Amino acid sequence: MNLLFLHTSSILGGSERSFLDLLNGISRDPSFELTIALPSDGPLREEAQAIAPQSRLARIPFPGYTERATQKNPWLSLLLLATAAAPLGRYIQSYKTLLQSRQIDCVYSNGIKCHLSSLLLRRFRDFRLVWHLQDFFPTVPYVRAFLNLHKRGPDAVIANSNAVLEQFREIMPKHWTPNLSTVYNAVDPNTYQPGRFESNEIVVTIVGMLTPWKGQHLFIQAATELSRLFPEAKFMIVGDEVYKTQGETGYKSHLQDLVRSGGIEDRVEFTGFVRDLSGIYARSDIVVHASLKPEPFGRVIIEAMSCQKAVVATRGGGVPEIIRDGVDGVLVDMGNASQLSAAIRRLIEKKDLRESLGRQARARVLSQFTSSHFSSQIIEILRCL
């Protein structure tokens, strides 16, 4: 099968890391010829090349306006849209050439922009189409209208949680009949191993892109309160700003201001982007996930669980499908700073609880979320198309 992977960006976020897990499995299967289209150079490209050196990489930039058109000034947006016609034409043309020269018979798309453009590409070639939904689908009317314009949708839709799948089922055009399935993300339990570097500190860590909806500001609020109570507690913020979208830059400096005004500069470490997270988990005792809106899945949660860490996470989206509250982690309400800090406090105080949640968490990952299972499920879906 000549398979083309479409990707929204070359950064390394959760959905890209789950794609690398798939690539790892599928690249060992000689019945697939792989082509990977990426919009730019970046860590994802390097990792993909290392995992599947035999695959063909194509660099097809997204027309720039797709990001910048969200700017607040409507005149500027209009101007950007008007100047986007030529790049958009070139973009479509590059894909047309790629689809034909590589004789693509299946397209696997990862990311909303790619899902939408994959429908347009069907005009040039009749391929089987698989959408891997790693996010909730936008519900804005023009997106739904765009979907409805297409008689034929994807042949298969894979969601990273039942929450994401159910939301898609509701907004999907009624005349589409894809094969729908949930395939949970997974980790390699040998890479994400239990263990803790020797230390007298208690390290509480949050991992994820620095963006307001991931809730790092609530984490800092809890850190400010808990630093006073526990001199041995340290707080680690792992990740960086990635998206250039409106409203998302400047968040990192806002977080740094919060740390300064809370007087906890000596207790909080900003590590920046970290490619290999296993070392981060090995320095941590408690891992926090603080998303303010429903998290589609929450890949870092299973990474931390695999490393036998006690996890505090917010109850929304796919997260309750992973963590059973009080059994293999702790759930708190989204956006509730006092619940979040109370839950962290309990875990700082109770070593036994931390350890037993960690053990249960590891067992849960081993039974439900291992990567070999993940890629074989997706390969099976591709074979049945």
Q: Indicate whether 298 belongs to the interface with ligand GLC (CB under 6 A).
A: yes
Cα 214–Cα 268–Cα 261 angle in degrees, nearest 5: 85
**Is 26 buried (19+), middle (13-18) or exposed (0-12) by CB count in 10 A?**
buried
In the region spanning residues 149 to 188, those forming contacts with ligand GLC, defined by CB under 6 A, are: 160, 185
What is the nearest approach in angstroms of ligand GLC to the Cβ of residue 196? 24
| Per rule CB under 6 A, count of chain residues that contact ligand GLC | 13
The runs of H, that is alpha helices, within the chain are 14-26, 43-51, 65-68, 74-82, 85-101, 112-121, 141-148, 162-171, 216-229, 251-261, 278-282, 299-306, 319-322, 337-349, 351-368, 371-383
**Enclosing H/E stretch for 131:** strand 128-133
- Identify which of residues 242 and 363 has a Cβ nearer to ligand GLC in the complex: 242
Q: Indicate whether 134 belongs to the interface with ligand GLC (CB under 6 A).
A: yes
In the region spanning residues 219 to 258, those forming contacts with ligand GLC, defined by CB under 6 A, are: none
Q: Which of 155, 285, 295, 328 binds ligand GLC (CB under 6 A)?
A: 295
Q: Indicate whether 297 belongs to the interface with ligand GLC (CB under 6 A).
A: yes
- Using the rule CB under 6 A, give the single segment among 11-19, 49-57, 327-335, 372-380 that binds ligand GLC: 11-19
Structure-token pair, residue 103: 């004789």
Q: Indicate whether 316 belongs to the interface with ligand GLC (CB under 6 A).
A: no
Percent helix, strand and coil across the chain, each to the nearest 5: 45, 20, 40
Cβ-Cβ contacts under 8 Å for 120 (sequence gap 6 or more) = 92
Residue nearest to ligand GLC (CB): 14
- Identify which of residues 34 and 300 has a Cβ nearer to ligand GLC in the complex: 300
Q: Which of 8, 15, 182, 224 binds ligand GLC (CB under 6 A)?
A: 15
Q: Indicate whether 18 belongs to the interface with ligand GLC (CB under 6 A).
A: yes
Binding interface with ligand GLC (CB under 6 A): 13-15, 18, 134-135, 160, 185, 295-299
